[in-house]
Amino acid sequence: MTRTGTASTHILRSFALLLFLSVAGTAALADGETAPARDSKQPVDDAYTAKIHKYTTQPFFTSPLVDYLPASKNVPTPEAVLGDVAGAPGILPYAEDVYKYMRLLEKASPRVKVFSIGKTEEGREMIAVAVSSPENLKNLDENRARLAKLADPRAIKLDDTEADRIVAQAVPVYYITGTIHSPETGAPTALMELAYRLAVDESPYIREIRDGMITLITPVVEVDGRDRMVDIYHWHLAHPQDFYPPLIYWGKYVAHDNNRDAMGVTLKLTENVLKTYVDWKAQVLHDLHESVPYLYDNTAGDGPFNAWVDPILTDEWEMIGWRNVSDMTKFGMPGVFTHGVFDTWSPGYLMFIAAMHNGISRLYETFGNGGADTLPRTLDPEEYARTWYRQNPPLPKVLWSQRDNNNYEQTGLLTSLHYFNENKRLFLKNFYLKAKRSVTKPGAEGPAAYVLPGDDPRLGSQAALLQVLQKQAVEISRATAGFTVTLPVKKSPKPKKDAKDTKEKDTPPAPTTREFPAGSYIVRMDQPYSRIADALLDYQYWSPDDPQKTPYDDTGWTFGDLFGVQVTRVTDPKVLDVAMERVKEVHAPAGVSGDGTIYAINNNAEPALATLRYKLHDASIEAAEEPFESAGKKFSRGSFLLRNVTRAQLHDAISDLGLQATPVSAMPSVKTHPVRAARIAFVHTWLSTQAEGWWRIALDNLGIPYDYISTQIVAKTSDLHSKYDVILFPPVGFFSSPTAIVNGLPSTWGNPLPWKYTPETPNLVGKNDSTDDMRPGLGWEGVAHLQSFVEKGGVLLTATDTSRFALAIGLADGVSVANAQKMKIVGSVVGARLVDGTSPIAYGYDEKLSAYCDNGPIFSLSSISGARGGRRLGGEMHTRPTGRGTMDDPDFTIGRPGFEVPEEPKAEIWENPLLTDEQLHNNFRAIPPANRARVIFRYADSKELLISGLVEGGDEIAQHAAVVDVPTGSGHVILFSINPVYRGETRGTYSLVLNTILNFDSLNVGRKLAEK
């Protein structure tokens, strides 16, 4: 620290001391509010307290709430497990140790109860710890029954008086979750000590919390990632002079995105926390993170707020958030603020489970060191700048400890809990009101319901979507008879004032109706959790003119579109009177409709078809290359024809897949090709594994087997083609550059970064991959191996940044990527159009497709090797030159007869440009038609590009190729500009990948060759 630094620190210290004294003296509180002060009659644990002081680097990095530890005769302190105090340097407990301590607390104190709330993907336990008065804990069920009536006001017939009566008696539940983000390491020890304080401290301030409410704590959300993080930290302690490996895997599948799963609920941790939150009827879900100095309550952010959030909630954010800031500022703790960069639009964050289930979502970012080292920390100017929302900013440079972080986390939580308890009647009433407003939604803002038709061609994907809603605790009903609803009038643009056709002006368009068959699913909006269903099924619009120019995350997610299933938003309240019954579990109809030797299964791009191929090892399966009719049914291109399988075997295989098989008397007359179980290699880098993690979990859930290999293994494997038919190289993420994929991490200096089993790192290996050194990338050897794989007939599938990589290393001639100038597509749902429906990659798809795009690369095609395809402006560029006649006339030349102008070859934006005779003359670069890229899907026209979210400057990518099959050598490179497999939300585009796998050796089927 510099001289000036020391001086200013000193001044701050005296200032904080003054503030501290004034708070402890005569705090100005509202009537009846209890001041934070310890109980002078309760003894203090002096040794523990001394260590708290020792590890706190500045006296103003603590508060009167946590600068001492009350002593207890029979309840062990965190020291019993940690060997030191919470937040001590060098100590980072495994989840198991944290649980061990919580269970010690449970044993020693009637004020603590531990509940197991489920397992992670790798089988580790998740827990929730309830701390409250023994009486409250004894009456949990009774209290839950009370809260349930507030959570579902239908139970009390929306009777406000009855609600008031319950509000006066109920004990609220405040749910705190820690360390979902594994490198953000401080929460577990802070929560161990918090649980102790809540159980032991007899000060009036803490007693009120304990007696007045139930604090529920999940100290470790990402348990698999926590254990790996602790491993890494131990490795670091054992090799203090070395660089330590970055945490490349957190959970089994994804890293930071584990906090983007609250829509799709694909991960166990989301499912377990959601279930706990809903089962306990909790009022708050408060998630702890560490990335901003020193405590940023980023719940509210600066907009745009999620459109489906009740304004009652946004007011609650402000109340609790600002009170939090105020309380901690009074303690003299610098750097506590709310608002700031977050936008609160996407409902994908874990905390948003509460926002979408009538509770209060909260999130802290405190300041962590990514481990338990005490470190000098220097901030960026924008981090310590004073702003309107941060009047007391953090200091430019400090020594920062895990204990400091624990002090902030606990102080923030304790003041929140206390304030919440002081105002619990208000918050409980709000909880009821938000639920009531969810139930009365059809008559208020609407809609009345969403209907998913019983005759959707993709009943399997429809069931998958409804299962997501059921995980979200949404009630699903099913119509027992057909019904008709009135659809709202689509407003057409007003005719201009001088419009001549007055008839059109006078007659408003008539409302249309739609009929739905029996068996259609109805998601009623008059239910307590209508909000989440509405948010997932509705469309999102983010205006390019929004003052928020940097969306924090995805801007669009419409689940019906992304799942490829029909969803109708119905405002007609009559839909609620339709004869229907509640559905406990949604299953798509499945089975075999009779005996035969050949069975046909229609192809509607249902991912389950791929599952079936791998499930039925011995069956012979062929794909029809053209549509056909058989047994009175229509089958589309790509439909499966199965032989060598008994009805019983087939029935067993498809009964839980949502597929229906029909016996056919003979093979149809259309051409078919075999569908073989491709041998798949799934390639990951050691740069980042998150984006591919979403692909991995999708394949695992579908039961598609693959070898999981790193780019380093690709570099070492010269005979990829003899081992694999298909190599999937999913996105690396963070727009990784081709050079980063080839080079890996810098290895000219530094030490090897092992990711493997060692005594210090027992949790790194097993479920994922391992290496002695994470640094080497694919290398040029690896590039050569990929090239040889494709040359020899292999299929390499890439998406977004790996497509850029494939193009950069020259694996897909005739396709180039243009740099976007103004385009801004931030995690949006966009329209795509089928270009070549005969390609097996398109089997089962319709003309229109919705897809997830995040500034996808802009592909352009060229028919000349090595040339950049550009945006051909066509027509406008070739208007006639100045001369005689009208615009469409030919010009003339005086004194000679006219001549025939040769027709310019014209191609659409997404097509291969046709070559002129000039271009073809002795042009060894001209790509023969059979070697040119084949576009399967393109982006929609500019006007139809945006489906949900933000699309700005979309004309730069509109009409350009979105899914391309590039023949290379004897093989294929498949390039995706969209990301077809993403966050468990894009089931509708999974089959683009699966079709590629299933038809790996028949991808040229249906290929039409251009003339030139």
* Cα–Cα dist 578/986, whole Å: 31
> Which residues in 961-1000 contact Zn ion (CB under 5 A)?
none
Query: Nearest CA to 952 among 555, 506, 487, 526?
Result: 555
User: Contact at 8 Å (CB) between 123 and 146?
Assistant: no
Residue 289 binds to Zn ion (criterion: CB under 5 A)? yes
Is the Cβ of residue 295 or residue 608 nearer to Zn ion in the bound state?
Answer: 295
Stretch of 287-295, 439-447, 463-471, 481-489 contacting Zn ion, by CB under 5 A: 287-295
Residue 174 or 250: the one with the smaller Cβ distance to Zn ion is 250
Length of the chain, please? 1012
Stretch that binds Zn ion, among 90-98, 174-182, 279-287, 941-949 (CB under 5 A): 174-182
* Strands of 145-233, DSSP E: 173-177, 214-218
Binding piece for Zn ion, criterion CB under 5 A, among 48-56, 181-189, 781-789, 996-1004:
181-189
Residue 447 preceded by cis peptide, ω within 30:
yes
Q: Which stretch binds Zn ion (CB under 5 A): 151-159, 285-293, 574-582, 714-722?
A: 285-293
Distance, in Å, from the CA atom of 257 to the CA atom of 714, rounded to the nearest integer, reads 27
Question: Scanning residues 468 to 527, which ones bind Zn ion (CB under 5 A)?
Answer: none
Q: How many residues bind Zn ion (CB under 5 A)?
A: 3
Which listed range, 178-186, 478-486, 833-841, 934-942, lies at the site for Zn ion (CB under 5 A)?
178-186
CB closer to Zn ion, 256 vs 679: 256
Q: How many CA atoms lie within 13 A of 858 on its CB side?
A: 20
Residue 291 CB, nearest approach to Zn ion (Å): 6
CB of 181 to Zn ion, least distance (A): 3
b/e sequence 233-271, b meaning 16+ C-beta within 10 Å:
bbbbbeeeeeebbebbbbbbbbbebbbbbbbbbbbbbbb
As a whole number of angstroms, the longest Cα–Cα distance in the chain is 117
**Shortest Å, Cβ 376 to Zn ion:** 22
Burial status of residue 307 (CB atoms within 10 A of its CB: 0-12, 13-18, 19 or more): exposed
Question: Would you say 339 or 524 has its CB closer to Zn ion?
Answer: 339
Give, for 684, the enclosing helix (H) or strand (E). strand 680-684
Phi, psi angles (nearest 5°) of residue 19: -60, -45
Q: Are 332 and 23 in contact (CB under 8 A)?
A: yes
Q: What angle do CA 265, 267, 273 make, to 5 degrees?
A: 75
Structural contact between residues 438 and 527, judged by C-beta atoms closer than 8 angstroms? yes
3-state per-residue secondary structure call for 395-443: CCEEEECHHHHHHHHHHHHHHHHHHHHHCHHHHHHHHHHHHHHHHCHHH
Check whether the bond before 442 is cis (ω within 30° of 0): no
Rounded to whole angstroms, the Cα distance separating 704 from 345 reads 34
CB of 46 to Zn ion, least distance (A): 35
Interface segment toward Zn ion; rule CB under 5 A; list 175-183, 783-791, 988-996, 1003-1011: 175-183
Query: Nearer Cβ to Zn ion, position 227 or 769?
Result: 227
Task: Give the nearer residue to Zn ion in terms of CB position, either 181 or 210.
Answer: 181
Stretch that binds Zn ion, among 289-297, 848-856, 889-897, 903-911 (CB under 5 A): 289-297
Q: How far is the CB of 616 from Zn ion (least distance, A)?
A: 43
Q: Give dist(CA 982, CA 990) in Å, integer.
A: 9
Is residue 260 at the binding interface for Zn ion, with CB under 5 A as the rule? Answer: no
The CA distances from residue 996 to 152, 342, 620, 647, 1001, in Å, are 47, 39, 18, 28, 9
* Closer to Zn ion by Cβ: residue 289 or 938: 289
Please, what is the minimum distance in Å from the beta carbon of residue 298 to Zn ion? 10
Nearest to 114 by CA among 205, 122, 125: 125
Nearer residue to Zn ion within complex by CB, 296 or 628: 296
CB of 289 to Zn ion, least distance (A): 3
User: What is the Cα–Cα distance from 248 to 232, expressed in whole angstroms?
Assistant: 11
Piece of the chain touching Zn ion by CB under 5 A; list 111-119, 148-156, 179-187, 979-987:
179-187
Between 113 and 289, whose beta carbon lies closer to Zn ion? Answer: 289
Smallest distance, Å, CB 178 to Zn ion? 11
Q: Which stretch binds Zn ion (CB under 5 A): 182-190, 269-277, 583-591, 878-886?
A: 182-190
Rounded to a whole number of angstroms, the minimum distance from the CB of residue 290 to Zn ion is: 7
- 181 is a contact residue toward Zn ion (CB under 5 A): yes
Least distance from Zn ion to the Cβ atom of residue 548, Å: 20
| Cβ-proximal residues to 893 (8 Å cutoff; 6+ apart), any chain | none
Span near Zn ion by CB under 5 A; candidates 282-290, 416-424, 746-754, 853-861: 282-290
1003 DSSP 8-state letter: T
Complex with Zn ion: residue 257 or 316, whichever CB lies closer:
257
Q: Minimum distance from CB of 540 to Zn ion (Å)? A: 24
To 10 degrees, what angle do helices 402-422 and 187-200 make?
Answer: 50
- Look up residue 86 and give its DSSP letter: T
Q: In angstroms, give the least distance from the CB of 300 to Zn ion.
A: 17
- CB of residue 184 vs Zn ion: minimum separation in angstroms? 5
Please state the closest distance from residue 859 (CB atom) to Zn ion, in A. Answer: 34
In the complex, the smallest distance separating the C-beta of residue 246 from Zn ion, rounded to whole angstroms, is 15
Quote the tokens at residue 131. Answer: 């701390």
Cβ proximity to Zn ion, 255 vs 590, nearer residue: 255
Closest to Zn ion by CB, 181 vs 252, is: 181
The helix (H) or strand (E) run that includes residue 885 is none
Select 95 or 624, whichever has its Cβ closest to Zn ion: 95
Does 362 participate in binding Zn ion (rule CB under 5 A)? no
| Stretch touching Zn ion by CB under 5 A, among 184-192, 305-313, 454-462, 657-665 | 184-192
Is the CB of 292 or the CB of 926 nearer to Zn ion? 292
Of the candidate spans 286-294, 439-447, 825-833, 971-979, the one that interacts with Zn ion by CB under 5 A turns out to be 286-294
**Nearer residue to Zn ion within complex by CB, 232 or 588:** 232
Smallest distance, Zn ion to C-beta of residue 341, A: 13
Nearer to Zn ion, 181 or 569 (CB): 181
Mark the segment that binds Zn ion (CB under 5 A) among 105-113, 284-292, 308-316, 930-938: 284-292
Residues 764-823 that bind Zn ion (CB under 5 A): none
- 3-class SS of residue 957: coil
953: left (phi over 0), alpha (psi -120 to 50) or beta: left
Would you say 183 or 794 has its CB closer to Zn ion?
183
Query: Which of residues 124 and 181 has its CB atom nearest to Zn ion in the complex?
Result: 181
Distance of CA 352 to the CA centre of its chain: 12
**CB of 595 closer than 8 Å to CB of 661:** no
Q: How far is the CB of 552 from Zn ion (least distance, A)?
A: 12
Q: Does 226 bind Zn ion (CB under 5 A)?
A: no
Rounded CA-CA distance 558/547 in Å is: 23
Residue 208, classed as helix, strand or coil, is helix
Least distance from Zn ion to the Cβ atom of residue 363, Å: 8
Cα distance between residue 918 and residue 899, in whole Å: 19
Residues that bind Zn ion (CB under 5 A): 181, 184, 289
